[in-house]
Structure 1
Amino acid sequence: MTLSMYQASVPVFIRMLGNLRLLLEKGAAYAEARKFDGTALPDSRLFPDMFPLSRQVQIATDNAKGCAARLAGIEPPKFEDSERTIPELIGRIDKTLTFLQTLQPSQIDGSEERPITLQLRSGALNFDGRAYLLHFALPNFYFHVTTAYNLLRHNGVEIGKPDFLGRS
């Protein structure tokens, strides 16, 4: 049995964004119980020169919707990066999940050799679909989801590896 491009992308993004949503819900409950300011967790960082939790979630959702859209050969939806609270970040995840759920396997399967070009500040990066998914999009997605987890955990939210991985 082979693993299709769709199976290796959209269901992975949906599962992990669902897990991230649950992590944020636990963070919101933790902050509410301790009477934190609504932006305390979203503004948290592990070090002054890194992006805060809010940006980690924004980038994770951008990676998921951008990758899926590019593999499908369609324009990725654009979201404003204006979320400042956990409920707003959860809303962003929900919008991303809604988009991902519209994609069909037939739109993504067969995209292994589709040319993908990303315009970054440092210049253009060129990939075929397989390399883009496996060597760029998925590692970046997991980096930002993991960093969001670490920021919540560092701030005392009682979460663990089962929360990150989710339940099957």
Structure 2
Amino acid sequence: MIIRIALAVLFLFLCWLVWRNLGARARFRADQRKAWDEPLREGSAVILSAAPSAWWWLLALAAVAALVGRSLFERMAAGEGVGPTFWHWIIFLGLAGVAARRAVQLSERVTVTWDRIASRNILGPRYALPLKDVTGVTEDDRTALIAFRGGRVLELSPWLEGRFWLARELRARVAR
């Protein structure tokens, strides 16, 4: 019974995340793409968030975890104890843990204003740094690294849409 409730809560949580992040994004997606073609202006703000393809991978991972959890539940309901289902438990808990971690990662929102970059996810704020402290920007085919005074380096996550736009903007600002 507890496993059914946990699976139902996990399913509802994932549905809420997908609705919040994919459904809400559809409204301003075109405006966001236009914003990435323009330079960052004083008084404006741009929000970078996870690409929809990353959310579909999370949904697939959660579905696999739910299937493994369901089969584990069936085995436990049939009377098998924890001993015979030990590896089943390990696989289920591993998949559920990875799915939960990825959900937290994908919930990240990076807000970029003229003078500040700030990030938060469903667990709360992660960082808020002034852009005047940027000393360098590098990027490769997956991600961008932003160096700040004091030795701090910020890596923009590979699933963030707009990370290369931000790297170009900051590189142009540092070059000035």
**What TM-score does the superposition give when structure 1 sets the normalisation length?**
0.43
Q: Which has the higher strand share?
A: 2
- Greater gyration radius: 2
**What TM-score does the superposition give when structure 2 sets the normalisation length?**
0.42
